[in-house]
Structure 1
Amino acid sequence: MSGSNVWTRSRARMRLFPELLAQCSAEAAAYGKCVSTTTIGKQELTKNMCAKEFEALKSCFESAAKKAVK
């Protein structure tokens, strides 16, 4: 496996990120809101605190990425 191919693929995926984020803006906003509301003051974000929102965002990214590859 050539090192340059790894970087080329990584760059190509990173270039898609803004487009994928735009397609998943509602899910990203919901996740961000969950994180910000659960970490008010000195409260720390703990594992699975926003799991439902994260899974929705992850699912949206995966779906959008599959469409972008076609």
Structure 2
Amino acid sequence: MSGSNVWNRTREKLRRFPEVFAQCSEEATAYGKCVAATTTSKQELKKDLCAKEFAALRTCFSNAAKKTVK
């Protein structure tokens, strides 16, 4: 297995990230608002408080990444 092949695939994924992220702005905003709302003052984010929003963002990223494969 070639090490450079792994880096080439990784670089390609990183190049596509802004395009994929732009397609998921609503989900990213919802997740960010949830995180911000649940970590007011000096509270730590607790596991699964924003699980629904994170799942929606993850699904969106996955679908958007599949659409942008060249």
Classify the TM-score, shorter chain. over 0.9
The one-letter code of the counterpart of 1:8 is: N
**Distance (Å, rounded) in 2 between the aligned partners of 1:21 and 1:65:** 9
The one-letter code of the counterpart of 1:18 is: P
**Distance (Å, rounded) in 2 between the aligned partners of 1:68 and 1:19:** 8
Runs of 4+ in 1 over 6 A off after TM superposition: none
How far is 1:66 from its partner?
Answer: 0.8
Q: Which runs of 5+ in 2 are unaligned?
A: none
How far is 1:43 from its partner?
Answer: 1.0
Instruction: Determine which structure has the larger helix proportion and give its number.
Output: 1
How far is 1:38 from its partner?
Answer: 0.5
**In angstroms, what is the RMSD of aligned CA positions?**
0.8
Aligned to 1:50: 50
The one-letter code of the counterpart of 1:56 is: A
Aligned pairs, number = 70
Q: Which runs of 5+ in 1 are unaligned?
A: none
Aligned pairs (5 A) from 1:24-39:
24-39=24-39
TM-score (norm 2): 0.96
Aligned to 1:11: 11
Secondary structure of the equivalent of 1:36? helix
TM-score (norm 1): 0.96
**What percentage of aligned pairs have identical amino acids?**
67
Secondary structure of the equivalent of 2:58? helix
